[in-house]
Structure 1
């Protein structure tokens, strides 16, 4: 493998692993903690049916209004790719939001997402853009 291809592949592997760790943190510690941990300072989060959330402080404020025992969001990476430079990349996948309705019955929502990742000065990957939408249950 040539050096440029190796740099790109290493970035793809790191982005995929980071996104999987992000989902695991969301499942175990909640969406608010996971999204604020993995967000870059200049983050933009697309919100279904509403204006986007722009900037880390706005994201933190939005997520702080979520109930601690709210729904659980998890996802699975279906595709990851990166720029040849190894500085930017994206993940695409399917998400599952699990909660309870007013009667206490289990309720699920399904969707797809895309997350754009940027390598920070310290070498860590943080997302700069995240968005998705609901879909019918996958078959």
Structure 2
């Protein structure tokens, strides 16, 4: 009987592990989809709208030596400080999600494109890092970018 109980317990534990891995993979897919939607909105509707929409109410961005706090302030910062000929695009190359699916982070490559004072197109390339938090309504919003 002890052997049968042990086998049942081992089977039960073994069955739960793939389920957890399946959830993590599902959440990673969600985050990658949110990143794509975020980038697409930035391309189609502008940086101010995209960063404001995808920011959590208490979201933070670091730009230069400045920390900009809060969804509304982030949107206003982009409205004020981004010129019409500037664009930003990015592609995440890595995503990880917490075991309970409430936090995640991504990083990858970005390209910031702008026209210099002579009207010549310039590009700055780099690495971005974003921290995501699942909101009460189930959506993902960034809390740090």
Do these two structures clear the TM 0.5 threshold for a shared fold by scoring above it?
yes
Match of 1:66 in 2: 81
Match of 2:54 in 1: 38
Structure 2 gaps of 5+ residues are 1-16
Q: Which structure has the higher relative contact order (CA within 8 Å, separation 6+)? A: 1
Contact preservation (8 Å) 2:58, 2:71: yes
Structure 1 gaps of 5+ residues are 131-139
Contact preservation (8 Å) 2:49, 2:75: no
Contact preservation (8 Å) 2:52, 2:72: no
The structure that is strand-richer by fraction is: 1
Task: State the alpha-carbon separation in 2 of the partners of residues 67 and 60 from structure 1.
Answer: 11
Q: Which runs of 4+ in 1 moved over 6 A?
A: none
Structure-1-length-normalised TM-score: 0.87
Structure-2-length-normalised TM-score: 0.83
RMSD of equivalent CA atoms: 1.4
Query: How many angstroms does 1:29 deviate by?
Result: 1.3
Specify the SS of the correspondent of 1:102.
coil
Larger radius of gyration: 2
Contact preservation (8 Å) 1:71, 1:100: yes
The structure that is helix-richer by fraction is: 2
Query: How many angstroms does 1:84 deviate by?
Result: 1.1
1:65-121 Cα distance to aligned partner (Å, 9 max, x none): 035623010001110110111111011001001111111111111111100011111
